Amino acid sequence: MALSMKSAASAALSTKTTRSVAARRSVAVVADMSAAKRVAQAATVGVASLALTLGANAAVIKLGSDSGALVFEPSNVTVSSGETITFTNNVGFPHNVVFDEDAVPEGVNADAISRDDYLNAPGETYELKLTTPGVYGYYCEPHQGAGMVGSITVN
């Protein structure tokens, strides 16, 4: 009988240990799910922040390529009305941004949105918001003949 009491105690201990292990595994699974939920929430916040950032600067246009070519990069962009467009002087020559009066929507003053003064230093910027839908053609005055032209489509 002593043997069967020992077996019963051993079986009870084994059952208790199994339950304890199962409980720890359950807690670990919940912790893993909680960690996954936190990661998912952080990713959602990151995507929302990125969307806000992109909305704030809808387009960044380089004046001159990284290799020094006389181009706008990208040369054609599309933005929503009121979004910020940032022209950033890249490496190389000074540039400006001149909107062609014959290549902007009717009623838009091309002189008012142009930046005739040169952006001289690398990283120097010119920001602009266009609100009238349509296509806006622009160029770099000293480098237009070399093909430094671009367009912005506003929806």
From the annotation, which residues make up the binding site for Cu cation?
A: 95, 140, 143, 148
Burial class (CB in 10 A: 0-12, 13-18, 19+), 38: exposed
Separation CA 52–CA 55 (nearest Å): 5
Residue 95 designated active-site: yes
Residue 1 designated active-site: no
Instruction: Determine which one of 1, 5, 33, 143 is catalytic.
Output: 143
Whether the link from the prior residue into 74 is cis, omega within 30° of 0, is: yes
Residue 5 designated active-site: no
Angle ∠(148,138,56) on CA atoms, nearest 5: 105
Q: Binding site: which residues? A: 95, 140, 143, 148
Residue 140 designated active-site: yes
Instruction: Determine which one of 1, 5, 33, 140 is catalytic.
Output: 140
Q: Which residues are catalytically annotated?
A: 95, 140, 143, 148
